[in-house]
Structures are given as structure tokens and as C-alpha cells.
Structure 1
Amino acid sequence: MTTSCLADTLEPKRANAPLFLGGVMQRTQVLIVGAGPTGLALAAQLNRFGVTARVIDKHAGVLEATKSAALHARTLEHLRTLGVADRVLAEGQRVDILQLRTGHRDRVAVDFRTLRDTAYPHMTDIPQARTEHILIDHLADAGIVVERNTACTRVEQNADAVTVTVTTPEGRTDTIEADWLIGCDGAHSTVREQLGIAFAGEAYADDWVLCDAVVDWPLPRNEMTFSADADGICGVFPLPGERRYRLAYTQNRAADGTLVEPSLADAQQALRRTAVTGTVRSVDEFWTFRLAHKQAVRYRSGRVFLAGDAAHVHTPFGGQGLNLGVGDAMNLGWKLASVVTGLSPRSLLDTYQPERHRIARAVVTFTHRGATAMLLRDDPRRHLRDAVMTLLQHTPLAQRGLARRFSQLGQSYRRTPHIPGRGSSLAAGDRLPDPLLFDGLTNRSVRLHDLLAPDACTLLLTTTADTDPLDASLAALCRRWHGALAGTVLTTRWGAAVRRGAADAVPAILDRGRQAARLYGPGTMAYLVRPDQHLAYVGRPDAARIEECLGSIHTAPALPFSGATAEKA
């Protein structure tokens, strides 16, 4: 088994071979192990760019177990990109507020309605199983079917391919050869173990109980409550359906220290930690589990990547887990598809580790500190915690910061070596804001993200001047990188907008209301937006620098920018 990172070599182009029919090795470009939300989102993202992945899973079907429920704003944006957000919203329960309570008192209300630059200023609670079913149906429409009862048992690789040994539903042992393998197979990842990648971190002392229940609950249905007292934590999360809630609580212990078997009475006892008068009427099923805060020391070994719970696990504080995994999938998906289809150099895949590992480390740390603070119980430091939380409640800026952090809209790839530039309030690596604009040319409202190229980079030029920001060198850049780069002009001046027009090859959007205020600066600003809506370049409209950044993403065209172009826009 080869586990060291391989040197960058020319990527061989292979088409998928016919499926294995006994005695012959199967062949595929991309194999995904694990059909949870991360693996399914990754397959959907690859499919958007024309790459069909095989998805295998050891389970017979979607696990209906009580798992994650909260989908945050950034994840809803990702699901919109994949084309399934509307269905999720139709089935889910909107949640506007995350209320943190300690010592039987409200401390901090994180209000997601303060989020101004997204189409989703809220959470959506929906059982993980339903999210998986929606993604599975979406993939099935594209002809991609999850291969069930198929377990990965061994992983080997060399410079050209990854060889995966699997057990089939019939109990046979087969072999699949893939150009690329992604382990999305959960906290006990076989792929990670086969690679010998350490999963650094520790388990928590408390055991937890999860259940979906019918509860008489007096608080508003748009509010998720996370409470802690001397006995532990109890979270109450509204689900779709009349009086349906998810309860998550630290498992009770008897006087002798032994764990109490979950029951209806036990759930009612845990609910008392909230000091809110509520009654648990019925429970579907109880699930107990042990939490940990761990992270794989690296996310890649040669041709194999880790994503989702295979790469990181943490507490359910703030409902971050599923969302973090989908973020991994969206980041890796467009990069891997671009490499597989020959549009990008293989070095693009080197950016996955520095970008996502740092993001996950921050989330693991944040959720660990949050859960630890909530579980102080009789620790004298709880008084300091309560004082800090009260201060946060009375500091609007801090509250908005918490909303951005929980929503994952604030996640940025700043400070990674391959992403330069800064301008106005944004820097390269940031997510492009998604304000609602009223376009004065078409006389309709539109989201900024909807103006981006769905499967390529976008050069977004913004200006408050009457002059056309698309000069000759930038126009030549867009023509030279046609197919890999689309252009859009955002202007507050009607004269500049009319001269370019909405039907131009590089169309203009007239933002008379300055809804995209964060994007304007002194003079023209240029933003190179990646397919995942993160910024690869921010700064003055320097065609040579923009092309340099674009060249780190895509294979260079036959005629690179010379710096002496005099073509007319």
C-alpha cells in the first residue's frame, strides 16, 4: 500500500470502462466511498461539471437514524447550486434564532435574520435522512445510482491509479480501479484507516442521547434552543411536522454513576434542564452515542482524499457537522472535475488541503470551546461564562458575528499562498456576498450569485463611474479564456450600463440602489470568482495579474496574455 503523497505528474486521460462482470477489474474515473450528505453532494457537484462518479455504500439503504438536522445558510447556497434547495426548503422547518440558555435563563439569541448578503437568512431543520433522499433522487435523475451493500475493505495506490477491494451484496470480493478515490465514509472511515492517516483528538466524557419526539413546547417554532444547567445539556430543535422536535441531551446518570437507559421519562427529565415548561408526548426511537473532537492530520494521500466526518468530527454545538462536510464536497468537487476533464492542472488539487483543513480546524475548535463552556456544570467559571454571554447579547456587532460564524458564510480561504489580493472590505479567499439587486436594465430583482457562470470562473467588474470598466486588455482576456471565464459588469451609473447593455457578451447590471455596496471601491474593482463563489483575486483590474490567478485554476490557453494587447472592447 502506497500512502505517501505522490509527485505531480501528467494526468492520464481515461474513459470509464464497462462495469465488472466477474473476473475482470472494474474501471472508473472517480470512486466515492460513502453515501451520506458529503458523498452525495460531491457526486452531484462532479456531475454538474460532466464527471460521473461511482458511489458505493456499505449500508442497505439510507439510515433513518436520528442524526444531523440543521442546514445553515452557506449549505443552502450550495444546495441551490446543485439544484435541490427549493425542495429542501419546501420540506424543512425554517429556524430564525438559535437561543443559548444557561442556568435556566436566556443568554444569547443568535438571530440569523441579521444576515444581509444571502438568500437564506435562517437555518432550515430537516432530518438528515430526508436530505439524503433528496440528493439521491437528484442523482438518479442524472442516471447515478448508489451501489448499496458494497463495502470498501482495502485501498492500494500507485502513481497511476487507486485499487479498491470491495465486498458485494452477493458476498463476493471484487476490485475497482479508479483514477481518484474520495473517502466520505464517516468517523470510522475505512479509507482513512487504510491510508494510515492519524485521526488526532479526544473523546468527550459525556455520552449523548438523540431522539425525534412529539413535544408540547411553548416557545416559537422558529427558535432552536440549546440549554445547559448543572445536570448537563439539552437541545430542542423544531422539525417539520406538527409538534415534532429533535431532542439532543447529555445522558443522565444514576446516583451510582451508571448511565440511565433512555426512556420517555428520561427525556422528560432532560427537558427540565431548559426550565421551559414542556411535555414529551412520544418518542420515535432513542440513539446513544459518544462524541469526540478529532481531525485527520491530512486530507490527501496521493490520489485519495478525505471529506466530511472521515476528515473531522466535533460536538453538535451550533449544528455545524453536516454543513462542514457539504462544504468539503463543494470545494473538492469542482476542482477534481476540472482536473479530470483536462481543464485544469493537477496542481489545483493541492489547494484542497490548505483551504479545507484550516476551516475544519477552526470549526472543531469553536464547537469544542462552545460545548465545553456549556458543560461547566458546577464549575465556578460558569459565572464568567454567563457574564460573557450576557455581554454578547447586548453587543449587536458580536451577535452578527456569531450569526455569520454559525451560518458558515464567514468561512474564508484568506492567507492561503495561491490566493492574492485585497480591496474594499473583501479579500481574496472570501465568499462573494449574495445581495438581492434590482437590475435597472431588466427591471427585475436578481441575486448576485445567479449572475455568475455556473461552471466556470467569472470576472466581476464593479464601478461607480460613467466609464466602461471593461478596457481592451480585459475584453481580450475574456475572449482568450472563453469557456473558462465569463465577464459581468456591475455599475451604479445608468450611462455605463446602457452603453454596455444586458445582452452584451459581457453584460452590465445596473445597481442604482447600491445593494452591492461592499463591492464598490474608488474607481473600478475586479473580482475573479471561482465556481464555488469564493474569490480568487480582488484588486485593481490588472489583466496580467488576473490572468496569472486564472492560470493557477485552469490550463492556459494557446495564446497567453502578453501585456501589450491593444484590442478594442
Structure 2
Amino acid sequence: MQHTQVLIVGAGPTGLALAARLNRFGVMARIIDKHAGVLEATKSAALHARTLEHLRTLEVADRVLAEGQRVDVLQLRTAHRDRIAVDFRTLRDTAYPHMTDIPQARTEHILIDRLADAGVSVERNTTCTRVEQTDDAVTVTVATPEGGTDRIAADWLVGCDGAHSTVRSQLGIAFAGDAYTDDWVLCDAIVDWPLPRNEMTFSADADGICGVFPLPGERRYRLAYTQNRAADGTLVEPSLADAQQALRRAAVTGTIRSVDEFWTFRLAHKQAVRYRSGRVFLAGDAAHVHTPFGGQGLNLGIGDAMNLGWKLASVVTGRSPGSLLDTYQPERHRIARDVVAFTHRGATAMLLRDDARRHLRDAVMTLLQHAPPAQHGLARRFSQLGHSYRRTPRIPGRGSSLAAGDRLPDPLLFDGLTNRSVRLHDLLPSDACTLLLTTTADADPVDASLTELYRRWHGVLTGTVLTTRWGPAVRRGTVDAVPAALDRGRQAARLYGRGPMAYLVRPDRHLAYAGPPDAARIEDCLGSIHTAPARPSSGAAAGTVGPA
């Protein structure tokens, strides 16, 4: 029987991102998929800011940006009028204040190329048929490309095999929720469309919904609309004329010149009641499905992969206790529950049709359009930058405006000495925890207790000091051997407090601790993430924390 540390079932964006994240930590996962190759069928296209940050961690963001179509605004229209313009350019603490539209197939190809460079390939035409597990391992029976069967033993199994997940079914995990009554049509088309190419339009009228999403390529758009019905209630077969009829729901003069192909599908809002059973985890569409309102699905799945990836790798490599994996369920299940509920409310509101409540909907949307804080809140919600693990176990502490569990902001810092700018995230490693200390005072924030903390956790913990104050320590580029960065423009204002502040940053850029630089409290949090390393010899240099 073949053996692997981690087996991933499903080579969609979630499974591929998970494999790439594990590989960054030195874990060579096997990834199998029942399909012969990447499915070129029209699927998800929108990549939001938080996902682009994840793709930067996986070292593929630049390629995605080069191939994709930048979208700055999500315009919601009802009853043939603009209602809310969600402008992602208001996002100030990310390198990606926009969406990027790119066909899902291209995202998958880019991730596959990244894995190939690392020596990892997708095993195609290999179908998971049975899952069995004990306390020590998982055994997966697969149908092979040659038509036979094989068995794979894995220490851990992750089901990323979509809404009709075999892994979830084999585990007997319920997929709770309901299906929608509307059928949907998707197509990629050449369209003469008068609105700006940096704008995605989502429109609704009494006949249903129509979304127009710009894609890379001249006059290329993705159309998504609720399928039309004939007078007798039967579904109208999609055609160019039918799509043109649906486009009129936007009340924007546009002409469809050609269509590549049509796909029809049904939607549901469902979530697995749990994401883990013993040594098996669920991620992506195997764990949750919802409407395409706001383009959340693919992004949510990659978020699952990035959360689970570093934790699973840390446990597999012996750097963390197995209990760290217990945090995946409470952190990601609540996030997905909120997204499923949010997209359900949004789609339901857009599909009120002849319901009298549509007038109230339109009035509320008009009010929100004139409330900048509400628009900014929507931008953060759609972009998934606002996703936080607050109120979950093992996430204590609070900083100035940030709390443990929040995503670390990523402001642009200008270094006048080198005359270049750098993002805060780029100063921190993506494969280790970092103790980020911030101060606006002259005194060094690294005291004896923190120096000892660095010494004890040498090899596990890195450090960075972010300060607004100029001094000899910063001129040397370190504060007591901890790398330092100067923020004279106070671009990282949210990270400063009345005194020195400490943030324990996890590899996924979420905060495990936020508060005063209390070494004992920080070490308690660190101990819940990592197994304490063996003490260095007495001759080891204190504060030798490696590059940040």
C-alpha cells in the first residue's frame, strides 16, 4: 500500500492552493483528481483582495495580475437604476485595493505550474471511492486511470472535491441547507458594453438577475443570469437571443456579439455541519456552497486552504502539537457561515421581483449609497479583508484598534533611506510566527524578558520592530538584534498605542496575540501554536531570530 503524509482529493483552486502552501513548509502532499485535466467550463472569475494576498504568499499573484482584468467597482442595480457602488479603491491597508477577474481555469493552471516547479504533479483520472480511517491513519481506495483500484494510506486527508464531495459523503457529514428555485445560466461572450471595463455590474428587475463581469481580452465579459421561463413555466433553452433578453435587466444598452458556450446550473446555500472527522478535513465547496453574489466562493475556499495549510504542515513536521488542528473548525466554520448567510440575504433581496418589499430594498440601498462608512464596510466584507477569528478559542488579547484574530493590516511603508516603499507583510516571513513590536517612543521596546523569549523560541519565532522614531538602533537596522523598520509617515497608525504594542503574527497573517509586550502572555499564546523547542546551548546568541 502506498503511503503519504497528506492526501488531497480534488485539484480545484482550494486543493491546489493547499498543496502549494504545504509545499512551502516542506510537506510534499499528493493530490488526486477524477478529471482528465483542468475543466475549462465557465466557473468563478472574481479574485478579491484577501485572496490576492494569499496568492502573493504562494508566489503567483504577479502572474494572476498580469493575466487578469482589474475591477475597481461592484455596481448593484435594481429596477433599472444604480443603487450602490462598492468601490474597492477605498481599501487602504492592502496591496490590492481592487478585484481581479480571471477565469478559474487560468487560476488553476497558474497554481499547477507553481506546483510543477516544486516537483508536485496532479494525479489525474484518479477517483476517490472509499474512505476508511483509524486513530493512526486514513486509507483511501481509488479508481485508477488504468481502470483498476488502488489503496493509499495517508496520515491526513483533505477533501477538496466540491459540492458533491465523495469524502464528505464517506464520512457521513451532513450538508445542511436548501436549494434555490431559480436555475442559472453562465456564459463567456463578446459584448459591446458601454460601461467602464473596471466595473462589474449586478442587476435585478422583475424578471430576475443579470451579472456582467469584465474578463481579460477585448470586449470579453462573463454573463450570469437567472434562466428565463416561457409562458407555460418551462425553462427557455439558453441562446444568444435569450442572453440578450436577460441583458435587458440591466437597462444598459449592450449588444452580445457572440457566445463561447452556455452552462446551466442550480444553486444552493449549504454548509457541512463539521469540517473535521478524525484525520480527515473538508475545505472549499466540499464544506460550503452559496450564491455567486459578490463572487465569494473561490475566495472562501482558498482562505480555508491557507488557514489549514500552515497548521497541518506544522503538525506534520513536528513543530506544533496536534491540538493546533482543533482550531480549523471553529475559525473557518464561523467565517463560512457568515458568508453563506450574507450571500443568501443579498441574492434573496435582489430576487424579490414582484414582492412589495422590493421598494423598501431600493430605499435602503439608496440610503447606503450616501453613507460612505457603509460603502467602505461593504468593500471590506466583499474583499474578505474583514474576516476575523475573534471570539474563537485560543485567540486572546486586544491592541489599539485591532484584536487578536484580526488580519494584520498591510500598509505601504516608505523607506527614505533606500528611497523605496515596502509592504508590511513583505517584512514578515510566511512560514513562521513573528513577534511584531511597534512603538512611537524613543525607548527600545525589546526588554530583557522579550530577549529571553526570543532566545527560548529560537528557530520558531522571528521578530520585527516597527517604529516612528529615528535613533542609532534603527540606523543599524536592528533593535537588540531584532530587525527594525522605520515608519516616519505613520502609515501603520492602527498598530500603534499609547505605549509599545506587541502582535504575535501567525503565518497566515492573522494575529494570535494583540496587546502590551507582556512576555508571559505572549509565550502562552505561542505555546498553543508551537511545541516548545529544545533550549539552545548557553553559548547561543540571545535574540538571534533570523531575517524578517
Structure 2 length as normaliser, TM-score? 0.97
1:182-201 map, 5 Å: 182-201=158-177
Does residue 139 in structure 1 map to residue 106 in structure 2? no
Determine helix, strand or coil for the equivalent of 2:196: coil
Does residue 84 in structure 1 map to residue 84 in structure 2? no
Which residue number in structure 2 is paired with residue 217 of structure 1?
Answer: 193
Question: Which range is displaced more, 434-443 or 394-403?
Answer: 434-443
Does residue 422 in structure 1 map to residue 398 in structure 2? yes
1:400-439 map, 5 Å: 400-439=376-415
Which residue number in structure 2 is paired with residue 37 of structure 1?
Answer: 13
Contact residue 33 and residue 152 of structure 1 kept, 8 A = yes
Q: Distance in 2 between matches of 1:216 and 1:417?
A: 52
**1:507 Cα deviation from its structure 2 partner:** 1.2
User: In 2 relative to 1, CA 546–217 (structure 1 residues): closer, same or farther, beyond 3 Å?
Assistant: same
Which residue number in structure 2 is paired with residue 345 of structure 1?
Answer: 321
* Residues 73-94 of structure 1: CA deviation (Å, up to 9, x unaligned): 0000000000000000000000
Q: Distance in 2 between matches of 1:61 and 1:502?
A: 49
Contact residue 440 and residue 509 of structure 1 kept, 8 A = no
Instruction: Report how many aligned residue pairs link the two structures.
Output: 540
Question: Which range is displaced more, 501-510 or 126-135?
Answer: 501-510
Equivalent of residue 282 in structure 2, options 292, 300, 306: 306
* Residues 475-534 of structure 1: CA deviation (Å, up to 9, x unaligned): 121122122111100001102653652597311111010000000000100000000000
Contact residue 227 and residue 233 of structure 1 kept, 8 A = yes
Contact residue 466 and residue 496 of structure 1 kept, 8 A = no
User: In 2 relative to 1, CA 498–261 (structure 1 residues): closer, same or farther, beyond 3 Å?
Assistant: same
Equivalent of residue 26 in structure 2, options 37, 42, 50: 50
Please list every run of 5 or more consecutive structure 2 residues that lacks an aligned counterpart in the other structure.
537-541
**1:556 Cα deviation from its structure 2 partner:** 1.0
Determine helix, strand or coil for the equivalent of 1:367: helix
Contact residue 208 and residue 250 of structure 1 kept, 8 A = yes
Q: Distance in 1 between matches of 2:102 and 2:477?
A: 42
Does residue 249 in structure 1 map to residue 225 in structure 2? yes
User: In 2 relative to 1, CA 567–54 (structure 1 residues): closer, same or farther, beyond 3 Å?
Assistant: closer
Give the letter for the 1:41 counterpart. Answer: A
Give the letter for the 1:270 counterpart. Answer: A
Contact residue 480 and residue 543 of structure 2 kept, 8 A = no
Determine helix, strand or coil for the equivalent of 2:131: strand
**1:453 Cα deviation from its structure 2 partner:** 1.7
Equivalent of residue 435 in structure 2, options 437, 451, 459: 459
Question: Which range is displaced more, 357-366 or 504-513?
Answer: 504-513
Equivalent of residue 267 in structure 1, options 227, 240, 243: 243
* Residues 134-165 of structure 1: CA deviation (Å, up to 9, x unaligned): 00010001110000000000000000100000
**1:102 Cα deviation from its structure 2 partner:** 0.1
Does residue 476 in structure 1 map to residue 468 in structure 2? no
Contact residue 428 and residue 535 of structure 1 kept, 8 A = yes
**1:472 Cα deviation from its structure 2 partner:** 1.0
* Residues 15-58 of structure 1: CA deviation (Å, up to 9, x unaligned): xxxxxxxxxx1110000000000000000000000000000000
Q: Distance in 1 between matches of 2:523 and 2:167?
A: 37
Equivalent of residue 284 in structure 1, options 237, 241, 260: 260
Equivalent of residue 162 in structure 1, options 138, 142, 147: 138
Determine helix, strand or coil for the equivalent of 1:376: coil
Which residue number in structure 2 is paired with residue 207 of structure 1?
Answer: 183
User: In 2 relative to 1, CA 362–567 (structure 1 residues): closer, same or farther, beyond 3 Å?
Assistant: closer
User: In 2 relative to 1, CA 182–291 (structure 1 residues): closer, same or farther, beyond 3 Å?
Assistant: same
Does residue 491 in structure 1 map to residue 463 in structure 2? no
Contact residue 458 and residue 544 of structure 2 kept, 8 A = no
Q: Distance in 2 between matches of 1:207 and 1:422?
A: 46
Give the letter for the 1:107 counterpart. Answer: R
Equivalent of residue 355 in structure 2, options 376, 379, 389: 379
Q: Distance in 2 between matches of 1:568 and 1:326?
A: 34
User: In 2 relative to 1, CA 394–169 (structure 1 residues): closer, same or farther, beyond 3 Å?
Assistant: same
Contact residue 395 and residue 513 of structure 2 kept, 8 A = yes
Which residue number in structure 2 is paired with residue 104 of structure 1?
Answer: 80
Determine helix, strand or coil for the equivalent of 1:518: helix
Give the letter for the 1:288 counterpart. Answer: T
**Percent of aligned pairs with the same residue?**
89
Determine helix, strand or coil for the equivalent of 2:529: coil
* Residues 270-328 of structure 1: CA deviation (Å, up to 9, x unaligned): 00000000001000000000000000000000000000000000000000000000000
Give the letter for the 2:392 counterpart. Answer: T
Which residue number in structure 2 is paired with residue 563 of structure 1?
Answer: none
Which residue number in structure 2 is paired with residue 514 of structure 1?
Answer: 490
Does residue 126 in structure 1 map to residue 102 in structure 2? yes
Give the letter for the 1:126 counterpart. Answer: I
Determine helix, strand or coil for the equivalent of 1:261: coil
Which residue number in structure 2 is paired with residue 18 of structure 1?
Answer: none
User: In 2 relative to 1, CA 472–234 (structure 1 residues): closer, same or farther, beyond 3 Å?
Assistant: same
Q: Distance in 1 between matches of 2:401 and 2:429?
A: 23
Contact residue 472 and residue 567 of structure 1 kept, 8 A = no
Determine helix, strand or coil for the equivalent of 1:45: helix
Q: Distance in 1 between matches of 2:45 and 2:532?
A: 43
Which residue number in structure 1 is paired with residue 529 of structure 2?
Answer: 553
Contact residue 468 and residue 496 of structure 1 kept, 8 A = no
Contact residue 189 and residue 258 of structure 2 kept, 8 A = yes
Give the letter for the 1:399 counterpart. Answer: Q
Give the letter for the 2:154 counterpart. Answer: A
Question: Which range is displaced more, 491-500 or 243-252?
Answer: 491-500
Q: Distance in 2 between matches of 1:117 and 1:499?
A: 26
Q: Distance in 2 between matches of 1:441 and 1:409?
A: 31
1:13-32 map, 5 Å: 25-32=1-8
Contact residue 441 and residue 498 of structure 1 kept, 8 A = no
Does residue 317 in structure 1 map to residue 299 in structure 2? no
* Residues 384-416 of structure 1: CA deviation (Å, up to 9, x unaligned): 000110011000000000000000000000011
Give the letter for the 2:323 counterpart. Answer: S
Give the letter for the 2:438 counterpart. Answer: T
Give the letter for the 2:176 counterpart. Answer: A
Equivalent of residue 150 in structure 2, options 170, 174, 182: 174
User: In 2 relative to 1, CA 145–386 (structure 1 residues): closer, same or farther, beyond 3 Å?
Assistant: same
Q: Distance in 2 between matches of 1:432 and 1:534?
A: 6
Which residue number in structure 2 is paired with residue 11 of structure 1?
Answer: none
Equivalent of residue 234 in structure 1, options 198, 203, 210: 210
Structure 1 length as normaliser, TM-score? 0.93
Please list every run of 5 or more consecutive structure 1 residues that lacks an aligned counterpart in the other structure.
1-24, 561-565
Determine helix, strand or coil for the equivalent of 1:153: strand
Which residue number in structure 1 is paired with residue 539 of structure 2?
Answer: none
Contact residue 214 and residue 220 of structure 2 kept, 8 A = yes
Determine helix, strand or coil for the equivalent of 2:306: helix
Determine helix, strand or coil for the equivalent of 1:423: coil
**1:440 Cα deviation from its structure 2 partner:** 4.2
**1:442 Cα deviation from its structure 2 partner:** 4.1
**1:559 Cα deviation from its structure 2 partner:** 4.3
Contact residue 465 and residue 482 of structure 2 kept, 8 A = yes
Determine helix, strand or coil for the equivalent of 1:426: coil
Q: Distance in 1 between matches of 2:3 and 2:51?
A: 32
Which residue number in structure 2 is paired with residue 21 of structure 1?
Answer: none
User: In 2 relative to 1, CA 497–220 (structure 1 residues): closer, same or farther, beyond 3 Å?
Assistant: farther
**1:346 Cα deviation from its structure 2 partner:** 0.2
Determine helix, strand or coil for the equivalent of 1:422: coil
Q: Distance in 2 between matches of 1:95 and 1:497?
A: 43
